[in-house]
């Protein structure tokens, strides 16, 4: 499914103001970029599109695993290119 051009542009505009952003979750990332009202699916589609199709951002998802209990920490870092 194609990403929303309005959400893509909003992400790029926010990153111009904030610079690189670190967050522990998608919700926190949306809040830091001022896109709280955007749905998670539209937001993550736009992030993927900006990274893989348009090559305008890079992002890194770091996850620490704690054995059987699964994920403990997740850090998202989004950087404009």
Q: What is the pLDDT along the chain (81 residues), one digit of tens a residue?
A: 678 999 999 999 999 999 999 888 889 999 999 999 999 999 999 999 999 999 999 988 777 665 555 555 566 788 888
How many domains does the chain fold into? Answer: 1
Residue 56: the pLDDT is 92
Residue 74: the pLDDT is 66
Residue range of the domain that includes 39: 5-80
The CATH number given to whatever domain includes residue 60 is 3.90.1150
| Residues in contact with 22: Cβ distance below 8 Å, sequence separation at least 6, in sequence order | 75, 76, 77
């Amino acid at each position: 499914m194609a990403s929303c051009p309005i959400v893509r542009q909003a992400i790029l505009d926010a990153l111009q103001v904030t610079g690189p952003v670190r967050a522990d979750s998608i919700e926190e990332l949306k809040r830091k970029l001022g896109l709280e009202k955007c749905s998670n699916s539209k937001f993550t589609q736009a992030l993927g599109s900006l990274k893989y199709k348009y090559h305008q951002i890079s992002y890194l998802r770091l996850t620490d695993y704690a054995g059987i209990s699964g994920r403990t920490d997740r850090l998202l870092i989004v950087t404009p290119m």
